Chain A
Amino acid sequence: MAGRFSNLEFDDERREEAKESSGALGTERDGWQLLEQARSAHSEGQHEAALRLYTRALQEDRRLIRAWVGQIQMLVELKEFHEARVWGDKALQLFKSNGDLLAAKAQAVIRLKDKKLALACSDGAMQSPGSSAWRWEVRGEVLMARGDGHFDVCFQKALEEPDADWFDRVIIARIYSYYRRAASAMQYLQAALEMAPAQAYSWYELGTAQQALGLLGAAQTSYERCLELRSDCREADAALRALGSISFGQWTRSVLRRWRKR
């Protein structure tokens, strides 16, 4: 199976992760199970592994729209926005006007700063049959990036959806973090941790938000909690080590930011 993926254009690091994920994959080849594993990897912040699992799920069953959406989401999380947009276009050729796919493309497009197209995609997603937390989340991001109001209402709507869970709060927090609104991100992460306190990824994201706000002590605690729950979290380990060797510039910025918040 690994040979089939050897032609993919991944870096060495990605190849290592692929080996890890293929090891964890076991013998189960069922598309839905792969989709669940991908979703699980996504919720643990392992975006590279999640992308491979979504791809495998699609190789098993190309009708899994959730896997197509997941692929685009992962490409966006990996900051490959252009590739995400191209992949969104491809998926939309197969599943015309699918709301979740349109929302995923809208997110890719808004990260490419094409606000007009992003709004059009988001409008299409909202007008498509059905509804989901994901569509509202992307709607909120598009409005936030455009500077329009009511994006927080969209996020609240997302959380009111029946399929919303703790991870949707993390997704919203990551959106806030992307647009450097760490204080709002922290609120959603705390809410996510109230619902699922044993999620290492939430602790890691909380630590990142706290670090951005200059709350270095709290960030250290969050990273340590993350490592308690998942000792192999390299990102948290690296962030914790970086906290110990914070540069003068970072320290000055954090102090100035705290003063400005007063």
Chain B
Amino acid sequence: MQCLNCGFENMPGLRDCVRCEGALMLGEVTVIPRRASSLRLATRLDQVFNWLHTTTIRGFSVKIFRLLPQSQNSMLWPALLRTAVPGLGHLHLGHRVAGWMFLSVWLLYLALGMATFPGELSLWLFSGAIATHSAAVVSVFAEDLSFQRIGMRALFGILLFLGLQQLVYQPIGGLIHWYWVPMIVPGNLLPGPVLAAGEGVLYEGVWLRPDQFSRGDLVLYRIPDMRGIGYYSEEGYGLDRIVGVPGDEVHVDAGRLLVNGAAPPEHEMPIGSPASIPNLFIQLHQGQYAILPTRVRFTNNIRFRDTIIKQVSVTSDSQILGRVRFRLQPWSRFGSIE
């Protein structure tokens, strides 16, 4: 009995070839292939297991990491590097319409984000810029990604978005925060000519924050929560001028402010009127600054207001976040804060 596969002459009666192990009894073999059917549970389960197999962490990571080096397009890597600015990679590849589209949309998002900075809308607009950037990178890879299933493509896009956000845009934002920190003036401040609640301002970050402050510096400081018998004050922020530095004696008497026994010049006066401050005398020690909360809105019981104000008026160095320098919002009042 000759094997059809290798041609070896086998002993009669054998079922498999002794050389290649090929079947010799072909007459018993079924030749009707199993077909895929939407009703066949086994087939569907096989497909699910196969899908799970190809999308396990190993298979998934291999797919993702092999995606980039697999590309044979020599133009792709220079284009990808240029996509650091969305659209430039497409222009490099000669896709002018797509390139200009990505570049203009990205710049538009950034411009609008800057214009509304540091409001909540700016976060959405900057996210739009990141999404545009991700789309530009995905578009550069479009040809290679077309081999992947739609789920993988979507996953690639999402991972790219998160990667760009966490590894590119967030570090850039963090770096900027070391110099300048944007913030919205907290709502517990009373409206006034210098600053009002809801305005967007920039204060100095840790790299620009001085070791020692001077009288007249407009600073953002943290008001800690305060507890005492009969009162409780929640944590918040204050924004006012420093009226006393370590070693000074600050005296408020009947609404009149005296620093070291003399009235301070105009640019060293608090933003609000000292008339709202109760009579107090502060001897400032090392690391303590006097900042009168002339613009802070206190909602506590009126009986304990004076007690709280006296406590808040002495601020330690660690509670001062930095000097407030620029106003970003509203545009009509854009500029440095004097």
Contact = CB atoms under 8 A, between A and B. Distances in A.
B50 A112 contact: yes
A55 B21 contact: no
Contact of A58 (B31, B63, B94): B31
B37 interface: yes
Given A71-B33, A98-B5, A83 B43 contact: yes
A224 B4 CA distance: 46
Given A112-B54, A179-B146, A180-B146, A96 B35 contact: no
Contacts of B5: 94-98
A131 to B, nearest CB: 18
Interface size classification for chain B: 35 or more
B239 to A, nearest CB: 51
Contact of B40 (A9, A59, A94): A9
Given A179-B147, A259-B98, A147 B71 contact: yes
Interface in B1-58: 4-6, 20-23, 26-27, 29, 31-37, 40, 43, 46-47, 50, 54
B144 interface: yes
Contact of B33 (A55, A114, A179): A55
A95 B35 contact: no
B144 A80 contact: no
A83 B35 contact: yes
Contact of B97 (A87, A98, A260): A260
A113 B54 contact: yes
B193 to A, nearest CB: 54
Given A96-B5, A147-B71, A262 B26 contact: no
Contacts of A9: 34-35, 37, 40
A55 B54 contact: no
B94 A95 contact: no
Interface in B144-161: 144, 146-147, 149
Nearest to A63: B4
Given A82-B46, A147-B144, 12 more contacts: A58-B31, A62-B26, A83-B34, A83-B35, A83-B43, A87-B33, A94-B26, A96-B22, A113-B54, A147-B66, A148-B72, A259-B98
Give the top 4 A-B pairs by smallest Cβ distance, nearest first. A147-B70, A58-B31, A62-B26, A80-B36
